[in-house]
Amino acid sequence: MAEFLWIFWSFSLLGWVLERLFAAVTRSPRRRRRCLLLLPLCPVYGLGMAAVLALPPSLRSEWPLYLWGGLTATAVEYIYHWWGETFLGVSFWDYTGVFGNFCGRVCLPFSLAWGLLLFPAVYLVTPPVVALADRVPVGVTWWLLLAFTADAVCSLRFLAVTHDLEALRAAVWPVSADR
């Protein structure tokens, strides 16, 4: 279980970093792309990688990884967005104007990008994360799980009550501090 948690947290953090870089490169006016109230984590990335790593080993090499991994990550992205809309009343992102989008929840360009990003994620990042998970004391993992769970519960409750993703993004730090 610790290995799964560290994979989830590591890729959620890397996803947050990727979101920040993407916002900076595209000069997005909305640079605050935080998915939880306090922690710099985007859980959709962690869930996506956990799902990809759950694929049978025969589907995690070369072209099958690109095809099946990309489809798996896209499916997780779609379900995550659908869940947010259905149960929290928020849209985490909107691909409506992007070529090849499906219901604004997923789109072809990002699905293709996820397939490419899986190669370094599976072959370069995952092995050290698994090695780290084996060395971290169980107590540390449990304390981090407690902190993550508290933040996730508070974030979900905040969104369920307000239905306002922008308010979540600005709830802790002032907007001017993000620029």
Does 93 fall in a domain? Answer: no
DSSP 57: G
The domain of 68 spans 2-72+108-178
Per the structure block, which two tokens stand in for 58?
């025969």
The string of pLDDT tens digits covering residues 98-157 is 999 999 999 999 999 999 999 999 999 999 999 999 999 999 999 999 999 999 999 999
Q: How far apart are CA 90 and CA 165, in angstroms?
A: 6
Give the confidence band of 175 by pLDDT, cuts at 50, 70, 90: very low
pLDDT of 34: 59
Answer whether residue 38 is part of any domain: yes
Query: How deeply is 33 buried, as exposed, middle or buried, from its count of CB atoms within 10 A (0-12, 13-18, 19+)?
Result: buried
In a domain, 36, yes or no: yes
Residue predicted with more confidence, 70 or 26 = 70
Q: What is the pTM of this model?
A: 0.90
Do residues 7 and 134 lie in contact, with contact meaning Cβ atoms separated by under 8 Å?
no
Instruction: Give mean pLDDT, residues 161-166.
Output: 88
- Mind listing the pLDDT tens digit for each residue in 34-57? 578 889 999 999 999 999 999 999
Q: Is residue 78 part of a domain?
A: no
State the total domains in the chain. Answer: 1
Name the one residue in this structure whose structure tokens are 């995952």. 126
Report H helices in the chain: 2-25, 43-53, 62-64, 70-83, 108-120, 126-135, 138-162, 165-170
Query: Between helices 138-162 and 2-25, what is the axis angle to 10°?
Result: 50
The Cα 39–Cα 57 span in angstroms is: 32
Residue 85 tokens, joined: 């809309």
